Amino acid sequence: MTLFSTIYSFLEIIGTIAFAVSGTVIGINHRLDIFGILTMSAVTAVGGGIIRDVCLGVIPPSSLKSPDYIIISAIASILTMIIALLTRKRRDSLSILKISQLYNFILVLSDAIGLGIFTVVGINSGIDKGFNHNLFFIVFLGVVTGVGGGMIRDVIANQVPMIFRENIYAVSCIIGGTLYVVLFPYLNHSLNMLLAILIIVTIRLISEKMKINLPRIKK
């Protein structure tokens, strides 16, 4: 296995864990039962990849042919639930506000990390399939891979998906993904990948911190 393959696999695992955590936090916030939380975690972690694979004609999707990433998401979800239970037991020393702020921070950070990693993973999947000269399609694949799981998660949670209402969300994927594709022939592959992920995560976190939103039409 090459160094790049190792880095790539490592990032996929980190992205899966990050999205699994965000799905678990949403599940806890909506008071789902354990099965509901595990389902929310898995859907968030692999949902975008399934949509990407369908777009590429990969049937059945890779995450269903091999359950490795679903298993990883389940383990991450269970650990997150255990931490949540331990936190709740310390409510005498932690205020409800602090717990809420902690959950929100974990959600935003994990979601941003997953967003960055899976955008790049989605673009690489398109490049591997020979679509490297179709900028629109491979960036689209990256965005879908990045936001797809979160969209399904939010729909299950009966809320408008973040992509349509929260700060600079999909736009960060478009910016980072486009830059990744443009620099692909010129930069070291691993460096380019890490740079794109960093840009997407940074834009997402800054937009959340500064409450920067795209313009809305008021009725």
Break the chain into its structural domains and give their ranges: 3-210
| Mean predicted confidence (pLDDT) in 53-70 | 90
DSSP 162: G
* Residue-level pLDDT at 137: 95
| Mean predicted confidence (pLDDT) in 148-169 | 84
Q: How far apart (Å, rounded) are the C-alpha atoms in residues 210 and 145?
A: 26
pLDDT of 128 strictly over 60 = yes
The model carries a pTM of 0.87
pLDDT of 180 strictly over 90 = yes
* Tens-place pLDDT, residues 63-75: 888 889 999 999 9
pLDDT of 91 strictly over 80 = no
As given in the structure block, the two tokens for residue 30 are 């909506």
Q: How far apart (Å, rounded) are the C-alpha atoms in residues 7 and 2?
A: 9
pLDDT of 92 strictly over 60 = no
pLDDT of 38 strictly over 70 = yes
Burial class (CB in 10 A: 0-12, 13-18, 19+), 184: middle
* Residue-level pLDDT at 165: 75
pLDDT of 103 strictly over 80 = no
As given in the structure block, the two tokens for residue 87 are 């936190």
Work out the mean pLDDT of the chain and round it to a whole number: 87
